[in-house]
Amino acid sequence: MDYSKTAAGVLQGVGGEENVSSLVHCATRLRFVLKDESKADTAAVKATPGVVTVAQAGGQYQVVIGNDVPDVFAEIGKISKLGAASSDGAANDAPKGNLFNRFISMISSIFTPVLWALAGTGLLKAFLAAAVTFNWITTDTTTYAVLNALSDAFINFLPIALSITAARYFKANEWTSLAIAGALVYPTMAGLVGQPGLTFFGIPFTMVSYVSSVIPIIVVVWLQSHAEKFLYRVLPGAVKRFMTPMIVVLFAVPLVFVVIGPISDLLGGGLGKGIGWVFDNAPWAGGAIMGGLWQVFVIFGLHWGLVPLFTLEFQTTGQILLVGPVFAAVLAQAAAVAGVWVRARNKNLKSLAAPATLSGFLAGITEPAIYGINLPLKRPFAFGIVGGAIGGAIIGIGGVFAKAFVVPSGLALPALFGNGNMIMLIIGLGVAIVVPFLLTAIVGFVEPAEDAAPAPASAENDLVVLSPLDGTVVDLSETPDAAFAEGALGDGVAILPRSGALYAPFDATVAAAFPTGHAIGLRHADGAEVLIHIGIDTVKLAGQHFDVKVTTGQQVKAGDLLLEFDGDAIEKAGYDLTTPVVVTNGELYPAITDLASGPVAHGEPLFTAVSVESAAVTA
């Protein structure tokens, strides 16, 4: 992947930096909060090399990249003011949406920056626990003490980390938030937990433990953000900079000790008991729900609403029952894509399934498998849900739990060792892996013609692309769209149309016939993929003035009519008709030659897409 081109294409596709309220990334996705989602050209974003798919959920515009998402995120930071400076969460001027979407967006933004540190130290804790279980290390050594501190400190002092991310989300002063969080976990205060007769200026209160807590710090930082706005407005300029944090801390910390902490402890304790009740009385149901539906939650971004439950359960019970069945969900989807890897006949599908299988099994990163293969093929995704539900139910019955927060994956399995019935864990994971693998490999799936793998490029399959339009050829750099002009979406040329008919430039499968009519994606049997984008920003017309004649998956011959459009009406509506014609899979066709110039009629040679092997021979 060319990270810079992917970053430029995505940023242009979402409507440019000016349309972005905030940007964060998680394990596999760029998570945009857009000021106006109607300005995003989803078709162009999906067509950007390196993008797996686009999902709009939880109040976010999510661009799925895969394991390389940190690199693309970093490149966006280089070409804009987004990136690291705005990775703190959604801005307060972001579209509000409904309450549920706002909640999911808030949780996602607050937890995303700390997730990998939390998971990494949790994994270290899991390995340490396994080492103790197998007598590889004893707990009375200083080596154990050091490793235990390394692995346990982050989850213990989680309120401090969340104070920073919550402050960035709510636009509060980070250092004041840090002072509040520090008071919550201050050793002297921790020593008062459970002691009777505590008062603050005569007001009785009960000290609860804030170790690993989530709710108190998020609530108090939210209140802090409003208090700071008020104080900055009413205090004199000469004193407000130091008086504001003093007043906020003076009132906020006791408020937590007296009100917020005990209430959240009561709620958290009730939630922990509720989870325990489910797994005590119907463990198969709890396991089946988590194992079967977790990946569905991930698709819609709803899993962020469950992440705080993991930490709340850990805080109140010292263990996480919810995590065990999630291992079944993750490994089941990885097993389903492994079945695709084994059964698929075309090389392209196999080449996609191989890394997706390894990523799912080892790292627990399933988005490439789900979006790239299992969901488009339908059956493998359903088989993964079945295997995850059955495996999760068995793991739930076994009472398997984790003593650390980890991202479920093959590498993180030590987090479950010695916690619950290990026989049931082995059976549950075995079922979660074997069932979807066998169902996918034996029952199979439909390999649609449009998803068939292209043949490897060779010197013989250079492709002559004919002009799809009557018009005038101009250099691609003259396109009034940065993503096309800079080659972020591929190399090619642009045409200024003279008429309103678009024809197939070669024998092809219609890879994408957008219902808006503004773009057509074509795939040649030898692998070349060409995008024809009629006009600039014409997706905003929502299909007006376009008449699409073909459908996705349809086979067409060179010269077949693909669509008609009313160029005059489009221009009167204020849109530029410059039409880029670009080769989008530059990894197979890295160069174009024999470019036409000046006036051209449809059916005349426009350029030649040079295959990678031809380019190598020439070089």
Distance CA 504, CA 522 (A): 8
C-alpha to C-alpha distance for 28 and 37, rounded to whole angstroms: 21
Q: 413 vs 148, 312, 596, CA distance in Å? A: 18, 21, 58
| Alpha carbon distances (Å) from 317 to 142, 251, 269, 314 | 27, 30, 8, 5
Instruction: State the greatest distance between any 2 C-alpha atoms of the chain, in Å, as a whole number.
Output: 91
What is the phi/psi pair of residue 23, to 5°? -145, 125
Which tokens sit at 537? 């920003």
What residue has token string 């270290």?
A: 124
- Residue 273 near residue 80 (C-beta atoms within 8 A): no
* Six token digits for residue 574: 């204020």
Q: How many helices (H) and strands (E) does the chain have?
A: 22, 20
Cβ neighbours of 533 (radius 10 Å): 27
Of 303, 518, 524, 533, the catalytic one is: 533
Catalytic residue (choose from 26, 303, 545, 602): 26
The residues, any chain, with a CB within 8 Å of residue 544's CB and separated by 6 or more, are 569, 573
Paired strand residues for 447 = none
Tokens of 173: 């002063």
Beta partners for residue 204, in sequence order: 199
Q: How many CB atoms lie within 10 A of CB 39?
A: 16
26 flagged as catalytic: yes
DSSP annotation of 320: B
Active site residue 518: no
d(CA 528, CA 456): 10
3-state secondary structure of 266: helix
Q: Give the HSE-up count for residue 255: Cα atoms under 13 Å, Cβ half-sphere.
A: 16
Which residues carry out catalysis? 26, 533
